[in-house]
A and B are shown apart, each in its own frame.
Chain A
Amino acid sequence: MTVLSLSKALNEGMRKAMEDDPKVLIMGEDVGKLGGVFRVTDGLQKDFGEDRVIDTPLAESGIIGTAIGLALRGYRPVCEIQFDGFVFPAADQIITQLAKMPMRSLGAIKLPVVVRIPCGGGIGAVEHHSESPEAYFTHTAGLRVVACSNPADAYTMIQQSIRSDDPVLFFEPKRRYWEKADIDTTSTDWWTPLHAAKVVRQGADVTLLAYGPMVKTCLEAAAAAEEEGRSLEVVDLRSLNPLDEPVVLESVRRTGRVVVVHEAPVNSGFGAELAARITEQCFYHLEAPVLRVGGFSTPYPPSKLEEHYLPDLDRVLDAVDRAFGY
């Protein structure tokens, strides 16, 4: 077992993928000598060279557009978007090209491109550095959208994403980058499929559905609720597109109550999709409406206010209380 932070686990995962396949490339702003602003690519250029770890000009559309071209030539680019709010200049290439080109070619083209996006708040950053843009991309057919929540998943999911022949948007919870866990990097039997959700805490009364940075918050909420005699189940979705529906629905049918928790604004967020699917398929199992906890319908606030914007343990537990109120 090795103790690794989430950022180091991603680094080790990419290193492994690059060792396994010479076609794997890393590209983005500052990913080379600096090792990325979060040091996620630290040391990779030194070991694999400038042709495989490419410091790019400062233009996000250019990063994704050229990655598409490299993939057309048989490479497997892993792009870093420096911060969530900077993915929007690349949105055109992601949505109109990366997502749709394989279908446009009737399957002749595969685009194994990974777009890594450090996402979410909680690090005291300035504007456009704390957003959760996942719903823009789960809405786009042709993309896979995944979010890791812990070092072990980070290590495996990044490798699985790189191996996937489909484009993958890979959301990294930036405020969890420095959290550590034991990872057995020598084992080969821990490969949970990339699209699979995980029940990370079992419970009987309420299902908390979360992904990325909110999984830890939900686990803390579940631990606190236990002291009050409530048994909360926590499901880490891991993959948003495709969604592992069977795992979600099975949990909901057992508990009858659901609280969805994400950092992104609740309005038209991914929680709305979960609520709709659950209502449609588990209507008679529900003891309460599907409740959502998330960001407000405002831009992400200045950092002095972010503790009020971000769902915390109390807001999750408040929603749990409401779920019991029906």
Chain B
Amino acid sequence: MTVDASRGAEAPPELVQLLTPEGERVEHPDYDIDLTPEDVRSLYRDLVLVRRIDLEAVALQRQGELGIWASLLGQEAAQIGSGRALTDVDMAFPTYREHGVAWCRDVDPVKLLGLFRGVNHGGWDPQEHNFHLYTIVIGSQTLHAVGYAMGIQRDDANAATIVYFGDGATSQGDVNESFIWASVFNAPIVFFCQNNQWAISEPLEKQTRIPLYRRASGFGFPGVRVDGNDVFACLAVTRKALEAARTGQGPTLIEAFTYRMGAHTTTDDPTRYRVASELEAWKLKDPIERVKAYLFKNELADQAFFDSVDGEAGQLGADLRRRCLAMPDPQPLDIFDHVYSEPHALIDQERAQFAAYLEGFER
């Protein structure tokens, strides 16, 4: 048996890559992509802005303004590449780290902070953005996504579903059940696994003995491993998989081979379980730097462009900080809202009792 849980910085041979870490454009026989200079500049802008959102959120957490934050640092290309492959009618189901995909779905970044600041459990309308709420329980959303895709099938709609999860989630029963359902019902879905090498402190070796993308073949659908730090390749591979889903060819598993450069969340300390040299090796594969190098080398952008994007990022960060601090606290009686869609006597009773109790302090 071949054991290959390759997790190191060396790129495995089957990795789909269209842009090298040095910013060189390379071809792939199955995944061609035609990007205008404007497209590339736009992708670069997305990468920089979501990194800034993330850095600002980490800073806010460090200053006590957020209870916790799950950083996407290092995973920007996987999220922007796949997110920009979606059409308006496609539906995305995230974990709790898909801030870059949320950006692509036009979810106001300040709304992402609500969950982590503790003012709500997810404050955007999933139907408005076709971006589902963050799901905390690992892998649960994969089944929701397949069910949604089965709904798309029944509606005969020209749309697809994409669901995000991490390498750790692939050990969950729900994820495996979702693979079975998707395969059996030929559901129009793309499984997008961001293999960032670490499930909190558990390395990939604790989840699998084979490369994750190869799992798909056991369930009866194709799997592909893409360079998750290459925004071009992530865009191309996801676009093709979504098109396959939309045209009745069923599911695809994409394993975006990437690296979580930060901690799992801000409560975590990666220095306890991984060596510094691993991080240093991955820094050389930074998803933003390679696009920047490509733009420079090909004279598709000048310094003024990069300065302007940096300026925009600075403004976005400042604006996010200001609006985070201005986010109103929920009111005590909000506890009872939205538990049920229809009237519920016990909730009404408890709300009234608690309201009376609170009024007792005001007299």
Contacts and interface: CB of A to CB of B under 8 A. Distances in A.
B2 interface: no
B126 A62 contact: no
B153 to A, nearest CB: 8
Contact of A97 (B144, B151, B155, B340): B144
B140 interface: yes
Contact of A105 (B149, B150, B338): B338
B50 to A, nearest CB: 23
Contacts of B150: 66, 69-70, 73
B172 to A, nearest CB: 9
Interface residues of A, number: 47
Contacts of B133: 101, 104-105, 109
B194 to A, nearest CB: 20
Interface in B111-142: 120-123, 125-128, 132-133, 135, 137, 140, 142
A107 B132 contact: no
A66 B146 contact: yes
Interface stretch (A182-190, A239-247, A285-293, A317-325): A239-247
B248 interface: no
Given A75-B154, A141-B339, A166-B342, A62 B148 contact: no
A242 B345 contact: yes
Given A59-B177, A92-B140, A66 B346 contact: no
Contacts of B144: 65-66, 68-69, 72, 97
Of A104, A165, A166, most buried by chain B (CB within 10 Å of CB) is A104
Given A68-B144, A70-B147, A73-B147, A62 B122 contact: no
A105 B125 contact: yes
Contacts of B125: 105, 108
Secondary structure at the B interface, as helix, strand, loop or mixed, is helix
Contact of A93 (B143, B154, B338): B143
A303 interface: no
A195 B147 CA distance: 29
A93 B126 contact: no
B81 to A, nearest CB: 24
Contacts of A61: 143, 173-174, 177
B341 interface: yes
B126 to A, nearest CB: 6
B346 A243 contact: yes
Interface of A: 51, 56-57, 59, 61-62, 64-75, 77, 89, 92-93, 96-97, 100-110, 141-142, 144, 164-166, 195, 241-245
30 contacts: A59-B180, A62-B143, A62-B181, A66-B143, A66-B146, A66-B178, A67-B147, A68-B143, A69-B146, A69-B148, A69-B149, A70-B151, A73-B147, A73-B148, A73-B150, A73-B154, A74-B151, A77-B147, A89-B173, A97-B135, A97-B140, A102-B338, A102-B341, A104-B121, A104-B133, A105-B133, A106-B337, A108-B128, A166-B341, A244-B345
